[in-house]
Chains A and B, each alone.
Chain A
Amino acid sequence: MKDADKSKQQLINELDELRQRVADLETSGIKHEQAKEALKASEAKYQDLYDNAPDMFVSVDAKTAKIIECNQTLATALGYRKEEIIGRPIFYVYHPDCMEAVKKAFRSFVQTGEVHDAELELQRKDGSKLDVSLNATAVHDEQGQVLYSRSIWRDISESKRTEGTLQKAHDELERRVEERTAELAKANQELRGEIAERQRAEAALQESELQIRLLLDSTAEAIYGLDMVGNCTFANAACLQLLGYETTDDLIGNNMHNLIHHTRFDDSPYPMEECRIYKAFKRGKGSHVDDEVLWRADGTSFWAEYWSYPIYRDDQVVGSVVTFLDITDRRRAEEELRKAHEKLVRQEKLAMLGQLAGGVGHELRNPLGVISNAVYYLKMVLPEANETVKEYLETISSEVDRSTIIVSDLLDLSRTRSAERETIDVPELINQSLDRNSPPEEIELVTEIPSDLSPLYVDPRQIGQVLNNLIANAYQAMPEGGKLTIKVEAQEEKVNISITDTGCGISRENMEKLFEPLFTTKAFGIGLGLIVSKNLVDANEGSIEVESEEGKGSTFNVVLPVKEVLS
């Protein structure tokens, strides 16, 4: 049939058929398109699943170990673009630190075709590490040869970190336990050391206490301690000994002031409020005193020098420590020294005075002698002179006499003549002096001289002068009249001549200065009589002393040696 042959119907049929075909075709095309679209969607879906899965996917060629394929998660996790990684050997993305483990895993994979939970470290593009666990399965060819891997890397850095933290925490704990243990051990060690140290210290303390006690008990200084109310807290051996107590129990707890310091040297009471120790430590001060006495247990006293110091505990005065010495001997020595010094000074003073006095005195004697002669002459040749002239001549005469006495005293003072001693009877000496100093009318003279006296052994002129001085002084002390008593008493190898007047007496104050040169209470005279007398008596190995009551009179006692009995 040719096309013409074909019937219209046929054609129509054919056309319909064609049309059906086209429609079918069209339908199938649509279907294809639809299938294509569905495939495409499916592919995109799987590609998305692949690329954006939470784990990292990679395929590695088993022969070359190169990366065949990887997902975006991996690239992103390592900081690469996919193209930068694909084609690289798998080792490229592993961290060099775990390279051994990687190789091992790879070898195992090639042999067994799988890897399970291998923990490995990747290296990011910036060089940092990424902890991953690797699971891989193999894709085989028809012959069973491993072609490539299907590898999944799971980021385990978080769990790794947690694990690390945990480990760290664990380690830390361990470390701390260790540390603490070490600390405890050390503390224990230290404690043990401390205990030993303390025991040593205690022993040392005991030893030192013993030492201190020994020191305190061996020192010559007496030491005692006081609490705030002045009670004894401590006393050393010297303290007990100096105070005459048996044991410290006699002192401790007792008020020391009331016990040993209650009375002054002159027997006047010494109240505690005035006590210099007590006053000082109440103010937080110390004291140093050397002019007071302390009292012994037996009621006797001694001169003491003491030092007190406050005892501080934490800036608070809690008491006082007192150190003292018996200075009786020292005071005696000092007293002697003072006396010796005074004597020396007096002698120096006298020597100097003597030189001056000697020079002046001698030079005055010549002119006095001439005046005296001249007056004598005038009185002699002017017997008829008027009363005033006579009176004046008499005045000159008596003034010359007075001056002469002063000059004589001066010269006696300067005289260094030693005594020319001889035996002389006491009554003779006294009578000679009385002859030269006959008592004025208003003075009654009483002498009490035993008849059986041994003769004196003295320089009669010197002692005569002493008696002259004392008798003249006695008369002068009684201008209104009175009684002069000269009493002689024999003493052992000595004779005491006492000359007593009932005159004005000597004040306590003047008594001390009595034998000082140039001391006088008289309107005239320069105060040399007594010092000269003392010097003369001293030169004759005698002594001179005075007793006096102001207003009642004075007694001078001159004690002189008698002639030694020749054996």
Chain B
Amino acid sequence: MNEKLRVLIVDDDRRMAKTLKDIFNVKGYEAEVAHSGPEALEKVEGSHFDSVLTDIKMPEMNGVDLYKSIKQVQPDIPVVLMTAYSTDKLVKEGLKEGVIATLSKPLDIEALLSFFSALRKDRSIVIVDDDPNFCKTLGDILQARGFAVTQITDPYDVVGKIREDVQVLLLDMKLNDINGLDLLKEIRSQHPHLPVILVTGYRDEMGEAIEAALKISAYTCLYKPLQIEELLQFLNEIHHRGLAKALGHPISGK
């Protein structure tokens, strides 16, 4: 993405909104300001934003209700809540509804900036499967959804091909000669935090290995034939987690 990331800042405290806008502008983002929920909603309906940063406690419409309304217009938009109040009920509700995170004021600007840069990055995925056809078809689908896809069919050349900035890895548990579990362990040693989704066509045979894999923090296990929507849902979840992590809030979505 070459164009500037567009961020909408919503806060009834005008100075808060303005200082944030000024910072983000200087940092090379296109920041807009709204001072109420309805005003923000109007702006979201009028144009595309890459992210919305909204205060929770505002007159007329609170931040969580605003998020719910925004979701109607633009379902996947990453929204971050900010609050000066520990109104747990709203924070909890917001997280449940799918906001990325809740930040407390005063804001950690560095965390926000790293969040934005994470947003700006392409979503990248590595597919490891000895079946080139599987790689190809899935790769095409994901590419069409805006992912940068790396396909690896040679199980002996996996670790070397994983770039540092890769966000998620899809691993077939049943490769030619190599044990998927061993491979996973090898990947873990190099990339301890890389989310890995396991894929297998042999639900029953692989049971034990899968269990062992999940224990060393494989994200989940999917079965062939893949349900693309299910996969995309997990990918979104992982994406959210990554974004939340950028904000310094490793909040589990569970």
Residue in B closest to A372 when the chains form the complex, CB atoms = B106
Q: Is A35 an interface residue when CB atoms closer than 8 A count as contact?
A: no
Q: Are A373 and B85 in contact (CB under 8 A)?
A: no
A370 contact set on B, CB distance < 8 A:
13, 15-16, 19
| Alpha-carbon gap, A372 to B105, bound state (A) | 9
Closest residue on chain A to residue B27 by CB atoms: A380
Q: Which of A104-148 contact B (CB under 8 A)?
A: none
Q: Which of A370-405 contact B (CB under 8 A)?
A: 370-374, 376-377, 380-381, 400, 404
Which residues of chain B come closer than 8 Å to A368, judged between CB atoms?
105-106
Do B22 and A377 touch across chains, with their CB atoms under 8 A apart? yes
29 cross-chain CB contacts under 8 A: A362-B84, A362-B86, A365-B85, A365-B104, A365-B106, A366-B16, A366-B84, A366-B105, A369-B16, A369-B84, A369-B105, A369-B106, A370-B16, A371-B106, A372-B106, A372-B109, A373-B16, A373-B106, A373-B107, A373-B109, A376-B23, A377-B22, A377-B23, A377-B26, A380-B23, A380-B26, A380-B27, A404-B106, A417-B88
Whether A369 contacts B26 by the Cβ 8 Å rule is no
Residue A415 at the chain B interface, CB threshold 8 Å: yes
Q: Is the interface of A mostly helix, strand, loop or mixed?
A: helix
A contact residues around B104 at 8 Å (CB): 365, 408
Task: For residue A167, give the distance in angstroms from its CB to the closest CB of chain B.
Answer: 127
Known: A370-B15, A370-B16, A377-B19. A365 touches B84 (CB 8 A): yes
Asked if B20 is at the interface of the complex by the 8 Å CB criterion, the answer is yes
- Cβ of B103 to closest chain A Cβ, rounded Å: 10
Closest-CB distance, B204 to chain A (whole angstroms): 27
Q: Give the nearest-CB partner of B12 in chain A.
A: A366
- Do the beta carbons of B26 and A362 come within 8 Å of each other? no
Name which of B23, B27, B84, B88 has the most chain A CB atoms within 10 A of its CB: B84
Residues of B within 8 A of A371 (CB): 106
Asked whether any CB of chain B lies closer than 8 Å to the CB of A411, the reply is yes
Q: How far is the CA of A369 from the CA of B84 in the complex (A)?
A: 8
Residues of B close to A373: CB separation below 8 A: 16, 19-20, 23, 106-107, 109
Q: B107 CB to closest chain A CB, in angstroms? A: 6
Sort A-B residue pairs by CB-CB distance and give the 7 closest, nearest first. A373-B19, A369-B105, A372-B106, A365-B84, A369-B106, A365-B105, A370-B15
User: Can you name the residue of chain B whose Cβ is closest to the Cβ of A381?
Assistant: B26
A400 to B105, CA, bound (A): 11
Write the chain A residue with the least CB distance to B108: A372
Q: Bound state CA distance, A417 and B89, in angstroms?
A: 10
Inter-chain CA distance A376–B18, complex, in Å, is 13
Nearest CB of A to B100, in Å: 17
Chain A residues whose CB sits within 8 angstroms of the CB of B88 once the complex forms:
415, 417
Residues of A within 8 A of B15 (CB): 370
Q: Which B residue's beta carbon lies closest to that of A368?
A: B106
* Cβ of A393 to closest chain B Cβ, rounded Å: 14
Residues of A within 8 A of B20 (CB): 373
Residues of B within 8 A of A374 (CB): 19
Residues of A within 8 A of B19 (CB): 370, 373-374, 376-377
Min CB–CB distance B90 → chain A (angstroms): 13
Q: Footprint of B on A, CB under 8 Å?
A: 362-363, 365-366, 368-374, 376-377, 380-381, 400, 404, 408, 411, 415, 417
Binary A-proximity of B91-121 (CB < 8 A = 1, otherwise 0) = 0000000000000111101000000000000
CB distance from A522 to the nearest CB of B (A): 22
- Report Cα–Cα, A415/B109, bound state, in Å: 25
A54 to B13, CA, bound (A): 158
Closest beta carbon of chain A to B16's beta carbon, Å = 5
What's the Cα separation between A408 and B85 when bound, in Å? 10
Chain A residues near B84 (CB, 8 Å)?
Answer: 362-363, 365-366, 369
| Docked CA distance A376–B108 (Å) | 10
**Bound form: Cα–Cα A363–B16 in Å:** 13
Tell me, in angstroms, the Cα distance from A404 to B26 when the chains sit together.
Answer: 25
Instruction: Tell me how far the C-beta of A539 lies from the nearest C-beta in chain B, rounded to whole angstroms.
Output: 13
Give chain A residues whose Cβ lies under 8 Å from the Cβ of B26: 377, 380-381
- Given A366-B13, A373-B107, 13 other A-B contacts at CB below 8 A? A362-B85, A362-B86, A363-B84, A366-B105, A369-B82, A371-B106, A372-B107, A373-B19, A373-B23, A374-B19, A381-B26, A415-B86, A415-B88
Q: Which of B2-27 contact A (CB under 8 A)?
A: 13, 15-16, 19-20, 22-23, 26-27
CA distance A370 to B13 in the complex (A): 9
- In the assembled complex, the Cα of A417 lies from the Cα of B87 at a distance in Å of 10
User: Which B residue sits closest to A461, measured CB to CB?
Assistant: B251
Specify which chain A residues have a CB less than 8 angstroms from the CB of B22 in the assembled complex: 377
- Please measure, in the bound complex, the distance between the C-alpha atom of A74 and the C-alpha atom of B86, giving whole angstroms: 147
> Which interface residue of B85, B104, B106 has the most chain A CB atoms within 10 A?
B106
Chain A residue numbers with a CB within 8 Å of B82 are 369
State in angstroms the CA–CA spacing of A363 and B106 once bound together.
12
User: What's the least CB distance linking B47 to chain A, in Å?
Assistant: 24
Nearest CB in chain B to that of A436: its residue: B248
A411 x B13 contact (CB < 8 A): no
Q: How far apart are the CA atoms of A363 and B86 in the complex, in Å?
A: 12
Residues of B within 8 A of A365 (CB): 84-85, 104-106
For the complex, give the distance between the alpha carbons of A372 and B13 in Å.
Answer: 14
Shortest CB-to-CB span from A100 to chain B, Å, is: 137
| Shortest distance between the CB of B29 and any CB in chain A (Å) | 13
Q: Which residues of A are found within 8 Å of B107, using beta-carbon distances? A: 369, 372-373
Task: State the CA gap A522–B13 with chains docked (Å).
Answer: 34
Least distance between A201 CB and chain B CB atoms (Å):
84
Distance of B53 from chain A, by nearest CB (Å): 12
Most chain B C-beta atoms within 10 Å of own C-beta, residue among A365, A411, A417: A365
CA–CA, A371 and B109, complex, Å? 12
CB proximity of A519 to chain B, nearest CB, Å: 24
In the docked arrangement, what's the CA distance between A373 and B19, Å? 6
Docked complex: B50-94 residues within 8 A CB-CB of A: 82, 84-86, 88
A567–B126 Cα distance when bound, in Å, is 42
> Of all chain B residues, which has the CB nearest A412?
B86
Q: Looking across the interface, which residue of chain B has its beta carbon closest to that of A403?
A: B106
Chain B residues closer than 8 Å to A372, beta-carbon distance: 106-107, 109
Nearest CB in chain B: distance from A366 CB, A: 5
Inter-chain contacts of B13 with A (CB < 8 A) = 366, 369-370
Cα A368 to Cα B88 in complex, Å, equals 21
- When distances are taken between beta carbons in the complex, the residues of chain B under 8 Å from A381 are 26
- B106: chain A residues at CB < 8 Å are 365, 368-369, 371-373, 400, 404
Bound together, the chains give a CA A404 to CA B106 distance in angstroms of 7
